Structure 1
């Protein structure tokens, strides 16, 4: 593992810096708007705009990289993201923030695509699992580091946007000075929505619900913590602890996923999420902030341990029922589905928090859990299209859209082909299968 870290340290450093800036920006915007007494709907709209930009960037990024090359595209998007962050610090109009937030998401998706294509180009087949795990760890560590900046510097003045812009600027350095050969040209992976909706409906439902929950968490958990009386540095501790739970749970989750039925694990996770989120949905505001943090942090940590399992389980479950030559397209479909949920979730939750109070964040989580309990039924998995190697080995997966469809090329579940070959193999449209894999009774 040390050898892999040494070989890819520049790209991992770029990832850490990208996610440090992204994580800090999300929390900063929520706290800044809360300080200015802006309602939760605007806070949710900011996060929705970011995920909208990520989804759009998945399409636009391919064209930009094909036209100007990887390094130029990465640096250009990094400059746009840095300028947009500084624009948020300078401009007082919320409507302009929405546009800038969308541009930030669009530019960051292009940067993810460049980093992942380079990792894929340089990783040997036997290293893909370790390289993919290193990329996921770098993503989560960056998100946690962004929250901890608030512990050191809790004031919301002009310094924070400058620190965020500094993180994005530092992410440009290792890619801009690389002497590596450019990766192969990129082709967009086809989505094939009709095929996947028919083949893996329960997985797509889980991914959509995961997007609803996680998009709401990143956008509105800082506002929830503020409304509970926590100071800015305490909000940073709360968010950092919760995000760290997402990293911590990945390896025990992989052990469980490889040994037990994945549909049953998803349904049990939904039941557990309902039980652990319900106390926070009815949590009263306590008069002592230190006591609130002491109680809120472990409870939020447990909720995140469970909610961050949904996307990786859904990815593994869907890979059990999709052939290897379609898994790049599957990843694209899963990320778009996640992005749709992450756009809708913050808007709905923000509106509920505006009308009924901050506790609606976790009431919304409970409602999403009920949807999964209702829709995910292990007994309805027919097994008709179950692949020969199923259960496919579980791989820890970042689920905050800190990746692009190209991340599938690093995934050891995908056959050892180049990205271009996989995408060419998927260009022909596929007809919907006769049997519905996850919905027809066995």
Structure 2
């Protein structure tokens, strides 16, 4: 309760920000489906959002260093609100793609500001609890966005106004804070060649997670519409499925700290295949069957990313974990860009069941590529298994979350902040960057 009280303003900002984001994703899918727009366009909307998130990760730190945290947060919030209202004022999907990209870009900058503040105010011993609170606020916001559709099922122009209202409310706690500006962190170098050689199985799992979760957020509303569900029922279906992602985190952490993580990832792939296949092959299902089956699929698919993060941390030294987090989020973003496009094309050609057929195909990739017996343990760190931390996917996180992650040592962040020159603006503090380390041999060979 002390932690909640200390960070309630930032948690409220996160809650309202994700409420607007979750409602917007479902609204776009339902609105385009109601207008009989091609499923490929619906997938492209989610892909554009993740493209904006990736771009925002590159642009956000420069904006924060240039104008400061509060100005950057409010400016990007104003951009997001204007883009949402623009979606409500026009019916052109091509314009929506541009506006959706801008929303992703602006929201990534807002995530970076919130996470910088959380990291600045959290003591080292509190990081795990603060990080978990941030994740809970994120998932509850996504669920709340779906439940709005239950009490307000209309798809008229008033719904974009409600979305814009949620985004506008997220500006208040940050804009009136009296806290001193935190020191922004410079994005660490991605070093893709190093991490592809060091943690290939983890990167494969994160890529697959992006493919599946990006497709789910973008096209599950279209799937539910094609199954004959009403808007209220779709809100319940989406809310229950997203809530599964929150519900599974703590049992998953208990398992992850006690059993082989590569084996857990492979078993998660097997379970995802088993749970997704009925939804992929059955032509029609009543809501009473579709909701629990969708819940079980999401219960598994939301475990892939946090398991991959924990598995990769077991084989990467502490001084490189900031770079690792950035690499994992970019990999997830690439998958989340490609997944909705591929799934949208498949649904257009073969029907709505392709959403879960695609998830089953992705599960096969995990089963094929993740082999516990291929893990050499050559670069396993001394403290492995590193404690599992509940982790939100990149729909609600930025590369700066690495500084809040208790698996990243305090001295690592401090050393990065010392080694990077201070920016020209007096308002921004010292930027942090990761020092280069020679490449190492491959740690875990893919199957």
Q: Same-fold call, TM > 0.5? A: yes
The number of residues matched between the two structures is 434
Which structure 2 residues correspond to residues 140-179 of structure 1 after superposition, within 5 A? 140-179=139-178
Q: Counterpart of 1:371?
A: 365
Contact 1:254 1:395 (8 Å CA) reproduced: yes
The answer to whether structure 1 residue 436 and structure 2 residue 442 are counterparts is yes
Structure 2 unmatched runs, 5+: 420-431
SS in 1 for 2:395: coil
- What is the deviation of 1:133? 0.3
The answer to whether structure 1 residue 321 and structure 2 residue 315 are counterparts is yes
Q: Counterpart of 1:310?
A: 304
SS in 2 for 1:95: helix
Contact 2:386 2:407 (8 Å CA) reproduced: yes
Which structure 2 residues correspond to residues 67-86 of structure 1 after superposition, within 5 A? 67-86=66-85
Listed one character per residue, the Cα deviations across residues 163-220 of structure 1 (whole Å, up to 9, x for unaligned) are 0000000000000000000001331211111111110000000000000000000000
- What is the deviation of 1:327? 0.6
Q: Counterpart of 1:392?
A: 386
Which structure 2 residues correspond to residues 405-424 of structure 1 after superposition, within 5 A? 405-417=399-411, 419=413, 421-422=415-416, 424=419
1:167–1:417 CA distance, 2 compared to 1 (3 A): farther
SS in 1 for 2:202: helix
Listed one character per residue, the Cα deviations across residues 224-259 of structure 1 (whole Å, up to 9, x for unaligned) are 000000000000000000000000000000000000
Q: Counterpart of 1:35?
A: 34
SS in 1 for 2:79: helix
Contact 1:329 1:426 (8 Å CA) reproduced: no
Quote the Cα distance in structure 2 between the aligned partners of 1:42 and 1:413.
Answer: 39
Which structure 2 residues correspond to residues 166-245 of structure 1 after superposition, within 5 A? 166-245=165-244
The answer to whether structure 1 residue 334 and structure 2 residue 309 are counterparts is no
Structure 1 unmatched runs, 5+: 287-291
Quote the Cα distance in structure 2 between the aligned partners of 1:248 and 1:273.
Answer: 17
Q: Decide which moves more: 277-286 or 337-346.
A: 277-286
- Over aligned residue pairs, what C-alpha RMSD do you find? 1.2
- What is the deviation of 1:431? 3.1
Contact 1:382 1:440 (8 Å CA) reproduced: no
Quote the Cα distance in structure 1 between the aligned partners of 2:413 and 2:67.
Answer: 19
- What is the deviation of 1:43? 0.2
Quote the Cα distance in structure 1 between the aligned partners of 2:271 and 2:184.
Answer: 44
- What is the deviation of 1:426? 5.4
Listed one character per residue, the Cα deviations across residues 92-147 of structure 1 (whole Å, up to 9, x for unaligned) are 21110000000000000000000000000000001000000000000000000000
Quote the Cα distance in structure 1 between the aligned partners of 2:219 and 2:98.
Answer: 19
So what's the TM-score if we normalise by structure 2? 0.95
Quote the Cα distance in structure 2 between the aligned partners of 1:365 and 1:232.
Answer: 24
Quote the Cα distance in structure 1 between the aligned partners of 2:446 and 2:248.
Answer: 31
Quote the Cα distance in structure 2 between the aligned partners of 1:270 and 1:222.
Answer: 23
Contact 2:416 2:435 (8 Å CA) reproduced: no
Quote the Cα distance in structure 2 between the aligned partners of 1:415 and 1:21.
Answer: 33
1:420–1:47 CA distance, 2 compared to 1 (3 A): farther
SS in 1 for 2:44: helix
Contact 2:203 2:328 (8 Å CA) reproduced: yes
Listed one character per residue, the Cα deviations across residues 386-418 of structure 1 (whole Å, up to 9, x for unaligned) are 000000000000014311111111111110237
SS in 2 for 1:417: helix
Q: Counterpart of 2:48?
A: 49
Contact 2:55 2:105 (8 Å CA) reproduced: yes
Quote the Cα distance in structure 1 between the aligned partners of 2:139 and 2:85.
Answer: 24
Q: Counterpart of 1:289?
A: none
Quote the Cα distance in structure 1 between the aligned partners of 2:297 and 2:319.
Answer: 35
